[in-house]
Amino acid sequence: MSINRVMISGNLTRDPELRSTAGGTSVLKLGVAVNDRRKNQQTGEWEDVPNFVDCTIFGTRADALAQYLGKGQKVAIEGKLRFSSWESQQGEKRSKLEVVVDEIEFMSSRGEGGGGRQVETPQTPDLPADDEIPF
C-alpha cells in the first residue's frame, strides 16, 4: 500500500498562470511559499525559512479559481505529489516535484486578510446523513 497525500498552507508567490493544453483542458499554475521553522546554529535564534512549492489545478475549476486567486493571498491546499522530468533545450536533464491540487481553501481575500472560502473537487462522493450510518 502507498499513500500520496500532502497538505500545505502558505502565501501565493505570484499571480496564477492560466493556460490550456492542446486538447483544451485548462491548467492553472500556482506558486506557494511555505515557511519552515529552523534554529540558526550561529545565533541560536529561531527563524522562518521559506520553501517554494509549485501547485497545479486542472479542468473547469482552474478557470473558476483563476479569477479569485492572486499574489500574496493565503491558501490551504490538499492534493497529491507528482514527479515529472524532461530535457531542456540545452540538453540538460530537469525534474521537479509539484502538488496536483484536489482541494483549496482561501484563508484570506485577494488583497486583504480575512475571508475563508473552500472549494472541493466535484468527485467528492455524497455521504449519508449521520442518522443513516449503521454504527
User: What local confidence, expressed as pLDDT, does residue 1 receive?
Assistant: 86
Beta strands at 46-58 and 93-106: parallel, antiparallel or unpaired: parallel
pLDDT (tens digit, 9 = 90+) per residue, 37-53? 999 999 999 999 999 99
Mean pLDDT calculated for residue range 88-114: 85
Q: Please say whether the beta carbons of 64 and 118 come within 8 A.
A: no
Q: Please say whether the beta carbons of 68 and 106 come within 8 A.
A: yes
- For residues 105 and 129, the model is more confident at 105
Q: Where are the beta strands (DSSP E) in 21-128?
A: 26-39, 46-58, 74-87, 93-106, 117-119
Mean pLDDT calculated for residue range 28-35: 96
- Quick one: pLDDT band at residue 110, thresholds 50, 70, 90? low
User: What local confidence, expressed as pLDDT, does residue 21 receive?
Assistant: 93
Mean pLDDT calculated for residue range 93-114: 82
Task: Please name the residue that has the C-alpha cell 506557494.
Answer: 32
| Cβ-based neighbours of 66, under 8 Å, separated by 6 or more | 16, 18, 28
User: What local confidence, expressed as pLDDT, does residue 111 receive?
Assistant: 55
Q: Please say whether the beta carbons of 118 and 61 come within 8 A.
A: no
* Domains of the chain, CATH where assigned: 6-38+45-86+94-122 (2.40.50.140)
Percent of the chain clearing pLDDT 70 (strictly above): 80
